[in-house]
Amino acid sequence: MKIYQTNEIKNLAIVGNAGAGKTTLAEAMLFEGGLVKRKGNINANNTVCDYFPVEHEYGYSVYSTVFHIEWKGKKLNLIDCPGSDDFVGGAVTALNMTDAALLVLNTQYGIEVGTQNSFRLADKYNKPIVFVLNQLDHEKAEFDRALEQLKEAFGSKVMPLQFPVETGPGFNAIVDVLEQKLFTWKAEGGEPQVGEIPANLKAKAEAYHAALIEAAAENDEALMEKFFEDGTLNSEEIRKGIQLGLAAKGIFPVVCVCGGNGVGVSRLLDFMKDIAPSVLDVPAPKNSGGVEVAPDANAPCSLYFFKTSVEPHIGEVCYFKVMSGKVKEGDDLQNANRSSRERITQLFCTAGANRIKVEELQAGDMGATVKLKDLRTGNTLNAKGVEHKFDFIKFPDPKYRRAVKPVNEADMEKMMTILNRMHEEDPTYIIEQSKELRQTIVHGQGEFHLRTLKWIIENIDKLAITFAEPRIPYRETITKSARADYRHKKQSGGAGQFGEVHLIVEPYTEGMPIPEMFKFGGQEYKVTNRDTQEYDLEWGGKLVFVNSIVGGTIDARFLPAILKGIMGRMEQGPLTGSYARDVRVIVYDGKMHPVDSNEISFMLAGRNAFSAAFKDAAPKILEPIYDVEILVPGDRMGDVMGDLQGRRAVIMGMQSEKGLEKLSAKVPLKEMSNYSTSLSSLTGGRASFTMRFASYELVPADVQDKLLKEYEAQQQEKE
């Protein structure tokens, strides 16, 4: 395979809604580029991009797939991304590693939720966007309607470069607005016949051509001057203006294809070759220190590994982008993240499961290697003396969680090994071994995302597992002040145990002063602040410990033991056994024995005094509240709002966003358990949502009563 120079390389992501036909389009590209001799079919389970068993089981993409095409002297690296929002991690990775996005639409449906999500992601990462209207051969496809939707949603920057002569089963020709020519394909695709535009379409073509000239001129001063002087631009000048406009996100070109029969695919490849930005046309990425790393083939080698897959008979295949320099087989490189060395024994360019050996890859190119010893997804390998590290891929927060355990408890270690491997393959799987909940929790992007994980473990790894509703990480706190004392006294032969602690507890909020006096049962208790220590709790909130001992009733050396006892009780609140938080404890009195007092005595006394005071301080249960944002079509807004109200949600606001309604709400985590499934059912899969932890809030009284009864029943079962 030819060694491509940096200026000959284009990197693009293929994104869009599930069902837009991305994988079929990728197959058509591979066929046109000569990498496959016969186009695969999704129903036949023989496409290049969907080659894992789980993808054959479900019938659509689960993993992103890296493939390349050599086209007329250029190398096009493409990443075909899953369309389902559950597998958004693939699109996030692809958009970070590429320089432009092909946003594919199923023309019969036009803009869908996945279209909006893909656009927002590409916009977030500042990537140029090309709209690809696909499946124009469908009987319900309407080009003009889809184009109008795009203009309404994304503005006047949407600019058609082509339009079909007709849509539906007879779709086989497009009018190229730039070239002002008619391109017609035979049934098998391939190279088109070039002819003149039919008379009945001439006016439409000229109108689009005039708009395209103006849009092209707007993106360059020299072109604008030329346009004002001559009133027009030639094809080369228009192409330059589109290229500059695309890179600057001043133009969103629209092209027409049908991946199923190959119509328009060769013109799409030509567009990518001629107009799509190369790695030299976009801003250089920055390393973790904020320093730009230019894609210079003459610089020292630096590789960023963005994807790992485990494939039968091979093991781990590690995909990388050459951030600078060039890499050859036999190179020894340093892992900047793990301080280990790796040797690149083999180099490949990939097309799904197909691998083509290459001698060298230069800056900006993508490739794969195998048999690395200590590499993880997200690691950087550098040549000697180079200290680059890249960490620019930030994945979305999870929004679905399940407790997981093996059917056979003896397989726990094996299960954890598999789960960690799956996190490497898809970093949006988050694995948590919760000491607090005493469960292994798997976090993901949706119910289908975790169902896929379960299918792989049970069918590929042959390990039976079960999913269960995860426990909720409640917290406990107090709502008023209370006082208690406790004497620990134990005599067993020789030296005994003695410690007595008197303390006050009160709710704590940031910055609140310490009262000088408390009153309980008609008696006043004066507080002298001798020392205050604040502790940020690892589970959130604070414990503030105040030493108010006067007269030496408790030796200062016993205070750490009292604190330890209190902290131990904070880890298991008296209401439901949940962590306690936001409490101030004032130790103001006590007694000790010159012989029998020791640390264990005061630890137990402090623990029991705190527990008694906590129970008298009107304790309440706190629950985690999440900020939830939902993108939903306007015609389903009422159903979605009604469902949220049944989940104890507080609606924070509504606004329109590019053809959809965005609903913001605060919702208890307890009520979000099956939300992704419910939302999909309510909206026919046309809505999406994100969720992020916001705060802990008091649960309503009826919910607290229910939780207390459940906890009491659990404790009785244990006894």
Q: What is the per-residue pLDDT across 582-625, written as a single tens digit (0 to 9) for each?
A: 999 999 999 999 888 899 999 999 999 999 999 999 999 999 99
What's the whole-number mean pLDDT along residues 539-557?
Answer: 93
Torsion angle defined by CA atoms of residues 56, 425, 397 and 61, in that order, rounded to the nearest 10 degrees: -20
Q: What is the CA radius of gyration of the chain?
A: 32
Residue 515 lies in a domain: yes
Both tokens of 602, joined, read 């005061």
Contact yes or no for 581/540 (Cβ under 8 A) = yes
Flag whether 566 is in a domain. Answer: yes
Q: Are residues 361 and 320 in the same domain?
A: yes
Same domain, 364 and 455: no
Mean pLDDT, residues 495-499: 88
Residue 85 lies in a domain: yes
Q: How far apart are CA 98 and CA 82, in angstroms?
A: 16
pLDDT in tens, 439-494: 999 999 999 999 999 999 999 999 999 999 999 999 999 999 999 999 999 877 66
209 lies in some domain: yes
| Alpha-carbon span 413 to 58, nearest angstrom | 29
Q: Is the pLDDT of residue 659 over 70?
A: no
What does the mean pLDDT of the chain come to? 93
∠ CA 479-485-486, rounded to 5°: 125
Give the three-class secondary structure for 537. Answer: coil
pLDDT of residue 560: 96
Given a cut of 70, whether residue 41 has pLDDT beyond it is: yes
Task: Say whether both 446 and 349 belong to one domain.
Answer: no
Angle at the Cα of 146 from the Cα atoms of 182 and 677, rounded to 5 degrees: 140
- Are 323 and 404 members of one domain? no
CA atoms within 13 A on the CB side of 260: 16
In the chain, the number of structural domains is: 5
Amino acid at 230: D
**Cα diameter, the chain:** 113
Last residue of a domain, one of 420, 445, 471: 471
Q: Nearest to residue 426, comparing CAs of 81, 76, 114?
A: 81
How many CA atoms lie less than 13 Å away from 365 in the CB half-sphere?
A: 30
Residue 291: exposure state from Cβ atoms within 10 A (0-12, 13-18, ≥19): exposed
Domain span at residue 678 reads 622-703
Helix (H, G, I), strand (E, B) or coil at 626: strand
Q: Give the torsion through C-alpha atoms of 610, 612, 616, 617, to 10 deg.
A: 10
- Assess whether 467 and 483 both reside in one domain: no
Can you give the pLDDT at residue 456?
A: 95
**357/253 same-domain check:** no
Q: What is the pLDDT of residue 314?
A: 82
Structure tokens at 253: 């070109």
> Which residue in the block uniquely carries the two structure tokens 């909940």?
437
Kindly state whether residues 17 and 149 are assigned to the same domain: yes
Confidence of residue 38 (pLDDT cuts 50, 70, 90): confident
What are the tokens at 605?
A: 């006394």
pLDDT score, position 719: 62
Cα distance between residue 437 and residue 470, in whole Å: 8
304-314 pLDDT, tens digit each: 999 999 887 78
Which of 292, 385, 286 is closest to 334 using CA atoms? 385
Tens of pLDDT along 348-376? 999 988 899 999 999 999 999 998 999 99
* Residue at which a domain ends, from 382, 410, 440: 382
Task: Mark whether 544 and 692 lie in a shared domain.
Answer: no
> H helices within 125-264, ranges in order?
143-154, 199-217, 221-230, 235-247
pLDDT at 648 over 90: yes
Location of structure tokens 């080009």: 143
Confidence band for 634, pLDDT divided at 50, 70 and 90: confident
Tell me if 382 sits within 8 A of 339, measured CB to CB: no
β-bridge pairing 366-370 and 579-580: unpaired
Using DSSP, state whether 547 is helix, strand or coil. strand
| pLDDT for res 50 | 86
CATH value at residue 335: 2.40.30.10
pLDDT surpassing 70 at residue 658: no
Query: Does the residue 559 lie in any domain?
Result: yes
**343 and 362 share one domain:** yes
Domain end marker among 382, 413, 435: 382
* pLDDT reported for residue 493: 66
Q: How many Å apart are CA 570 and CA 695, to the nearest integer?
A: 19
Angle, alpha carbons 655-657-662 (nearest 5°): 50
Q: HSE-up of 171 (CA within 13 Å, CB side)?
A: 27
Are residues 657 and 611 both part of a single domain?
no
CATH of the domain at 644: 3.30.70.240
> Tell me, what DSSP letter sits at residue 426?
-
- Check whether residue 614 and residue 627 sit in a common domain: no
Mean pLDDT of 512-523: 93
Cα–Cα distance, 143 to 707 (Å, whole number): 56
Q: What is the pLDDT of residues 49-97, one digit of tens each?
A: 888 888 888 887 889 999 999 999 999 999 999 998 899 999 999 999 9
| pLDDT higher at 328 or 313 | 328
Q: Is residue 709 in a domain?
A: no
Give a yes or no: residue 313 inside a domain: yes
Q: Tens of pLDDT along 260-296?
A: 999 999 999 999 999 999 999 999 999 999 999 999 9
Q: Contact at 8 Å (CB) between 430 and 443?
A: yes
Average pLDDT over residues 690-710: 93
CATH code of the domain in which 583 resides:
3.30.230.10
**pLDDT at residue 45, as a whole number:** 84
Q: What is the DSSP letter of 709?
A: H
In a domain? residue 86: yes
Query: Cβ distance 647 to 671 under 8 Å?
Result: yes
- 694 and 549 share a domain? no
**Would you tell me how many other CB atoms lie within 10 Å of the CB of residue 64?**
26
Kindly report which listed range (417-426, 472-481, 636-645, 652-661) carries the lowest average pLDDT score: 652-661
Q: What does the alpha-carbon distance between residue 109 and residue 86 come to, in Å, rounded to a whole number?
A: 20
Which SS3 state, helix, strand or coil, does residue 505 take? strand
